[in-house]
């Protein structure tokens, strides 16, 4: 057994391995570029032919990943395919597929399960399978392990299985794939050893934990910590507002404490593919053990109420001008879920737009990162980004600052917008036409 393990470890250490990355989105693509940059051959596998064709033509479909970096990877041996039979060529298979929630807020494991089923016929001895998708504790053991072993392969002996959660922060210039420490748990000690050999080539610091379950729980704790603290500060925002206190001033002041406090800022709701979704993986799994995760559910309730809160602030502002919501023209500033990215998943801006449209508002948006409103599973707007000019701003009854992109000209907005609903604390000085939300 150790002969096989040692041989596989050596394949990674000598960089002779072919790295297979399954799922070429916000997580898979940066990982591909990193392995390619350090001299590994990389095969990208995705069911989306459009993505595969773009990558093979040296193009990028994610704003913060440059065309130059993709075309350079192509020139140095990267290729993408929709052909799962090529799985057998790979020494490592890193799964970076989505794990959304269904409408009942239960984990939708179909992407993970269908992907594993598609890999299954082509798995062979000497490979490592690593799941990076955020999920509930027990997924690797319950869903991947039996499928990997179905054809007679033995995990820990002649094939290796690990869980190593992704940690990406798109739009954050201070971190890249290489510099973010990587947590990893193996199904057996041999699995862990092979997993460390795979990741320590590409990541500066690898952090080992005792099991795949511990690694799965680690990722959930990271995201639940954020969700709960954002819920707390969103609740504090409402209290502070009633008391005539600026919550952003308070958070900034509290953040000067050098220990025991981490600054979280309120906003119009939670967005992205992690923070609004992942905590409910634990809620769902905890039910199996007869437990209720009250903090998670409470913060979810608070955060989900934020778009309604922003709308109520808009109603107040229009009311002061003698206007009704119905028939008012409203411009959303930013529809990506966080600043300086083009990612629209779970964006609270879109929820606000839907609430406004349902109440008879004429809704438009401007976002330098999203030129045309993209097709989304749940939301449909036939819109493209408005020009942000003095003349255009003056045409709207109100603007809602939902996503505080650095590319916005905030002084231009301050001068020419009739009414500003600021959900991001960009405007600190009190002005009659600015309402904090």
| Strand extents, DSSP E, 37-100 | 41-45, 79-81, 92-95
Superfamily for 305-436? NAD(P)-binding Rossmann-like Domain (3.40.50.720)
Q: In the CATH scheme, what architecture does the domain 2-208 have?
A: 3-Layer(aba) Sandwich (3.40)
pLDDT tens, N- to C-terminus, the chain (437 residues): 578 999 999 999 999 999 999 999 999 999 999 999 999 999 999 999 999 999 999 999 998 899 999 999 999 999 999 999 999 999 999 999 999 888 888 899 999 999 999 999 999 999 999 999 999 999 999 999 999 999 999 999 999 999 999 998 877 888 888 999 999 999 999 999 999 999 999 999 999 999 999 999 999 999 999 999 999 999 999 999 999 999 999 999 999 999 999 999 999 998 866 777 888 999 999 999 999 999 999 999 999 999 999 999 999 999 999 999 999 999 999 999 999 999 888 899 999 999 999 999 999 999 999 999 998 877 789 999 999 999 999 999 999 999 999 999 999 999 999 999 999 999 999 999 999 99
d(CA 35, CA 199) in angstroms, rounded, equals: 9
| CB-CB contact of 344 with 371 (8 Å) | no
Alpha helices in 243-347 (DSSP H): 247-254, 279-288, 294-304, 306-320
Catalytic residue set? 274
| CB-CB contact of 422 with 436 (8 Å) | yes
Domain ranges of the chain: 2-208, 220-301, 305-436
Per the confidence metrics, is the pTM higher than 0.85? Answer: yes
Distances (CA, A) of 265 to 48, 79, 207, 288, 332: 36, 41, 29, 34, 20
Same fold, 220-301 and 305-436: no
CA atoms lying within 13 Å on the CB side of residue 201:
25
Question: H or E stretch including 207?
Answer: strand 206-209
Q: In the CATH scheme, what architecture does the domain 220-301 have?
A: Orthogonal Bundle (1.10)
By the 10 Å C-beta count (0-12 exposed, 13-18 middle, 19+ buried), 379 is classed as: middle
Strand partners, 155: 159
């Amino acid at each position: 057994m150790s002969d096989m393990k040692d041989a596989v470890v050596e394949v990674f250490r000598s960089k002779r391995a072919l790295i297979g990355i399954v799922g070429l989105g916000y997580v898979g693509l940066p990982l591909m570029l990193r392995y390619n940059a350090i001299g590994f051959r990389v095969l990208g596998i995705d069911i989306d032919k459009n993505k595969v064709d773009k990558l093979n033509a040296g193009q990028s479909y994610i704003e913060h990943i440059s065309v130059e970096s993709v075309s350079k990877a192509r020139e140095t041996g990267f290729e993408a395919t929709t052909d799962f039979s090529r799985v057998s060529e790979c020494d490592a298979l890193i799964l970076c597929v989505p794990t959304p929630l269904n409408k009942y807020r239960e984990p939708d494991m179909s992407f993970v399960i269908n992907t594993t089923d598609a890999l299954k016929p082509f798995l062979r001895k000497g490979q490592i399978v690593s799941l990076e998708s955020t999920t509930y504790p027990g997924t690797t053991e319950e869903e991947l392990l039996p499928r990997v072993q179905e054809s007679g392969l033995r995990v820990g002996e002649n094939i290796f299985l690990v869980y190593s959660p992704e940690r990406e922060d798109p739009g954050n210039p201070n971190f890249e794939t290489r510099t973010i420490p990587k947590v990893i748990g193996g199904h057996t000690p041999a699995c862990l050893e092979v997993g460390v050999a795979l990741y320590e080539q590409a990541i500066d610091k690898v952090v080992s934990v005792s099991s795949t379950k511990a690694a799965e729980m680690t990722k959930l704790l990271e995201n639940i910590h954020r969700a709960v603290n954002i819920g707390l500060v969103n609740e504090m925002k409402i209290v502070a507002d009633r008391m005539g206190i600026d919550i952003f001033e308070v958070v900034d002041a509290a953040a000067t404490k050098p220990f025991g406090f981490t600054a979280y800022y309120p906003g119009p709701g939670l967005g992205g593919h992690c923070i609004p979704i992942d905590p409910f993986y634990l809620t769902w799994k905890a039910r199996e053990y007869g437990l209720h995760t009250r903090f998670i559910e409470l913060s979810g309730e608070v955060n989900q109420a934020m778009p309604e809160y922003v709308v109520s602030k808009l109603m107040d502002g229009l009311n002061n001008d003698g206007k009704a919501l119905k028939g008012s023209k409203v411009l959303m500033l930013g529809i990506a879920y966080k600043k300086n990215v083009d990612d629209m998943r779970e964006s609270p801006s879109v929820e606000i737009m839907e609430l406004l449209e349902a109440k008879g508002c004429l809704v438009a948006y401007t976002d330098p990162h999203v030129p045309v409103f993209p097709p989304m599973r749940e939301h449909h707007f036939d819109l493209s980004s408005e020009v942000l000019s003095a003349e255009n701003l003056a045409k709207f009854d109100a603007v809602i600052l939902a996503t505080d992109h650095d590319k916005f000209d905030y002084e231009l907005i301050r001068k020419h917008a009739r009414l500003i609903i600021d959900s991001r604390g960009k405007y600190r000085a009190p002005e009659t036409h600015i309402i904090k939300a």
